[in-house]
Amino acid sequence: MSNVYPPVAFYFKLSFSGVSNSADAAFKEATGISMEMDTEEITEGGNNSYKHRVPTSVKFSNLVLKRGLVPQDSEVVQWCMETLSGGLSDLIETKTIILSLLNENGQPLKTWNFVNAWPVKWSASDLNSMNNEIVIETLEFAYSYFKTVKVPVFPTPETN
């Protein structure tokens, strides 16, 4: 495959700064990788035919991660529970969440760093005795901003 092919969305890797357990970063889904420019409308005095739209700031959506429910000794879940149950009297510990989209050889094609991330929601899927499904836990994180990291281009067998 060449370096210009559209990558597949199912091959990705996550890691959390300060979390050593690599199994703790195994997720089935990552959503919310988006940003948008907020705008403000300004009406010009005496001109009713249009409004000026000016940029204000960039807004980031929350990063949402989903996986099968893990045992209680998960470092990531422990961080989430401590943050969510600590109230506003405790300092919130932030981490950098690193999400890498991988090529067929497991090498990063694109990497996003979600800086100053902290958990804002934890939930588990509904329990239903009539369904034969895995319990999914959902972790949602707010963050200050994300940045993409340049990754080295690895040669593929077809480019050699």
Under CATH, to which class is 12-34+52-159 assigned?
A: mainly beta
Q: Where are the domains of the chain?
A: 12-34+52-159
Give the pLDDT of the chain (160 residues) as one tens digit per residue: 445 677 778 888 998 988 877 667 789 999 999 999 999 999 888 878 888 899 999 999 999 999 998 866 788 988 999 999 987 778 899 999 999 998 888 888 899 999 999 999 999 999 989 988 899 999 999 999 999 987 766 555 554 4
The whole-angstrom separation of Cα 119 and Cα 95 is 10
The whole-angstrom separation of Cα 71 and Cα 75 is 10
Q: Model pTM?
A: 0.81
